[in-house]
Amino acid sequence: MLLRAAWLVTTLLLAALTAARADAPSLLDFDLRSLSEPETHSLKRYAGKPVLMLFFQPDCTWCLRQVKTINELGRQCDAFSAMAIGVLGTRSELRTELRRLRPAFPAYQASPRLLESLGEVETTPLMLFGDADGRFVTWWRGYAPEDKLVEFMGSAGTAICTD
């Protein structure tokens, strides 16, 4: 019952983001600490292409599968910016998980400010999709196969990775 209530709250929060997307801050309005180096980076560096933010956590089997799918899609084309964002774990746990996931795209640790803006991320994988300016377009919780990712990225304003 508690899980159902939490799912409802998360769904309502993401729906509110969708409804207010014109007024919402950009997905790129955050500075996050890299999990592969000690520096903090502004996500604004990813502006100019549709954005895919993959939230992952330690010991997430579906996250491993999702990273493999995003890696394969990224090998086929570079018309989008992907990033992994670790949640629900210590920096050490997230770095260990990152070595297991082996994303071909940058990985960061979620900041308190990002988590405050999004609300609680309870389960992963969770993906947020944004347009080339980082404006929120849609979201997906759970594993999404490659064709679904292409569809979501298309809704972000660019038809990508099509044959």
Is residue 161 assigned to a domain? Answer: no
More confident residue, 76 or 162: 76
Domain assignment of residue 29, given as a range: 2-155
In this structure, of 82-96, 98-112, 118-132, the range with the lowest mean pLDDT score is: 118-132
CATH code for the domain of 21: 3.40.30.10
Are 54 and 84 in contact by the 8 Å Cβ rule? The answer is yes
Tokens 């949640």 belong to residue: 87
pTM over 0.95: no
Is residue 162 assigned to a domain? Answer: no
Residue 81 pLDDT exceeds 50: yes
pLDDT at residue 122, as a whole number: 86
| pLDDT band (50, 70, 90) for residue 152 | confident
Number of domains in the chain: 1
The first and second tokens of residue 37, run together, are 């180096």
Is residue 160 assigned to a domain? Answer: no
pLDDT at residue 63, as a whole number: 97
Residue 87 pLDDT exceeds 50: yes
